Amino acid sequence: MRRFLATVAISAAVLTTGGPVVAQAADTTCKSVDLDIAFGREGGAAGTVYREVVLTNRGLRTCVLRGFPGVSYVDGNGNRVGAAAVRVGERGALLTLPHGAAAISDVGFAQVDNFDPDVCRKTPVWGIRVFPPDETVPLHLRLTDQHGCAGDVSAFGNQLTAASVRS
């Protein structure tokens, strides 16, 4: 009888403390700390270079992403240069990323020389800062020989655009 009661007590403790018997909660949003970031393929069209920004789950747990990353140019001190990327397209589907899986956002980089130089105020940038969807901690990607517009060019177009993440 004592052995039976001990088994019941241990089982109750495991269930109430979230031990291995309890089913895991639903997948959670991918956090920056669990993501690697890199550039993927690159292409161009009509004065804009498009680069894939690839977010790979390096965490041990499956996580989910949906929506748009926040993207902006930054200088060598981490300060934003010009306006953040404008979102293009639909929000997209919820992506489930097991360990090692990736989500991609297509980011457009306008050729800043196409903007009025007085309005643009062409400025060298260190790279881009990327906030994964629904995340407040940024990731960074280095760019070489890139410039952004420190001025407001929105009346003439967007210096950066970002599409929703996709698989």
Q: What is the mean pLDDT of residues 4-18?
A: 39
Greater confidence (45 vs 110) lies with: 110
Q: What is the mean pLDDT of residues 4-19?
A: 38
| DSSP letter for each residue of 86-143 | EEES-----EEE-TT-EEEEEEEEE-GGGS-HHHH-EEEEEEEEEE-TT--S-EEEEE
Percent of all residues in the chain with a pLDDT value above 70, rounded to a whole number: 84
How confident is the model at residue 157, as a pLDDT?
94
Q: What is the mean pLDDT of residues 110-116?
A: 96
Greater confidence (145 vs 9) lies with: 145
How confident is the model at residue 12, as a pLDDT?
42
Of 8-22, 45-59, 117-131, 144-158, the range with the lowest mean pLDDT is: 8-22
Percent of all residues in the chain with a pLDDT value above 90, rounded to a whole number: 82
What the block records as the tokens of 34 is 């669990």
Q: How far is CA 108 from CA 3, 8, 69, 116, 128, in A?
A: 66, 60, 13, 19, 12
Q: Does the pLDDT value for residue 21 go beyond 90?
A: no
What the block records as the tokens of 130 is 């990327």
Q: Does the pLDDT value for residue 78 go beyond 50?
A: yes
